[in-house]
Amino acid sequence: MTIKFLVTGGLGFIGQRVVHNLLARGVPTVSADYFPDTRAIADLRAAAGGTQFDALAMDVGDFPMGWPSVRSMPTSLTQSTLPT
């Protein structure tokens, strides 16, 4: 089974670093953020290389609406739980 992470706030200052770290480790990652920063998305796509990366424009309050996009992900990551 492949692990895929959902990072809420993944396009913010801290979230981008969390997503970049996961991608550098080869971990497929989805970033969910209320404000889709196209420059941040482009930078993370470039950093992803061959690792799967997706970005969702959504608020965590809208999570049930976005559920079909992420339902196969067993792991969700908040910005304060990534070990360094």
Q: Domains of the chain, with CATH numbers? A: 5-77 (3.40.50)
Q: Looking at residues 70-83, what average pLDDT do you find?
A: 50
Confidence of residue 81 (pLDDT cuts 50, 70, 90): very low
Model pLDDT for residues 3-62, shown as the tens digit of each residue: 788 888 899 899 999 999 999 999 999 898 888 889 999 999 999 999 999 998 887 666
32 sits in which H/E element: strand 29-33
Q: Nearest Cα to 4, choosing from 64, 81, 76?
A: 76
- pLDDT surpassing 80 at residue 65: no
Higher pLDDT, 63 or 31: 31
B/e letters for 45-74, b = 16+ CB within 10 Å, e = fewer, are: eebbeeeebbbbebeeeeeeebeeebeebe
